[in-house]
Every structure is written in structure tokens, then in C-alpha cells.
Amino acid sequence: MDLQLLDFDCSEDTEGVVCWDALAQPQPRHNRNLLDEVAQVLAWAHGFDAQGPGPLEDGAEWDFDLQITLHPEGPAPQAACLTFDPPKGQFTPTIADLSHPLALSLSLSGTPGFAMAFRERWGAP
């Protein structure tokens, strides 16, 4: 797999919809690289089908769910409110201070065509 910090587990339903799930809680020095990898994956997905993301049951080719928690083991965990900006290929607003722990969960699902292209591009299972 071309990705260094995202490690996906894969599942497939009876209709061919594939879901990749990745959990990460890196050392803080790797936080920026992790977010950059997520941005690369999402930028690729938007390039595959700019109409997405959206519910697959409504006809979308792909969808995703991203959860980021800052200070996950501290006394006051905080959800990071980030929006992915496809034209820029980055998150806004950016997290200014990445020197503290964060936990990230990314679920990416897609149709069989999306799954094939995702596997070809990222070497995913």
C-alpha cells in the first residue's frame, strides 16, 4: 500500500459495496503526515467522482466518514471540526497545534467500480 500511516481493514457486502476502515492514533510528530495522507485519499476520491461523496443508496459512487478527536486520552477530549476542501486538497480550518495527541477514524465506502479504482490506486486490500 502506498500509504504510510493509514492502515485499512476492508469489508464487502452482498451487493458489492466495499468499506475501508482505518483507525490511527499516531505519535504527535506524525499528525501532520497522517492528515496529509487522509487529504490525499479524499482528493483522489473527489477526482474519481466529483459528484460524491453521498449516500450510496441514493446513487452516489462513494462516501466517507471522518472523525478526529484532539487530546483523546486527556481530561477534555475535543472533536476537531474539519471540512475537506476538494479544489484545494486540504482541510479547513487547519489544526494549528498538532503537537498533542489525536485520534482519527476514517471510513470510506464505494460501489464496485470505485472499489476497483481505489484498490488500483492505493494497493488496498
pLDDT digits (tens, 9 = 90+) for 7-56: 889 999 888 899 999 999 999 899 889 999 999 999 999 999 988 899 99
Structure confidence at residue 45 (pLDDT) = 95
Span 54-108, pLDDT tens digits: 999 999 999 999 988 877 676 666 667 778 888 888 887 666 677 878 889 999 9
Tell me which DSSP letter residue 58 carries.
G
Structure confidence at residue 76 (pLDDT) = 63
Q: What are phi and psi of 91, to 5 degrees?
A: -90, 145
Q: Which residues of 33-52 are buried (b: 16+ CB within 10 A; e: fewer)?
A: ebbebbbbbbbebbebbeeb
Exposure on the CB side of residue 97, measured as CA atoms within 13 A: 4
The answer to whether the predicted template modeling score (pTM) of the entire model surpasses 0.85 is yes
Helix (H) or strand (E) holding 113: helix 112-122
List residues bridging with 70 in a β-sheet: 78, 102
2 three-class SS:
coil
**pLDDT above 60 for 120:** yes
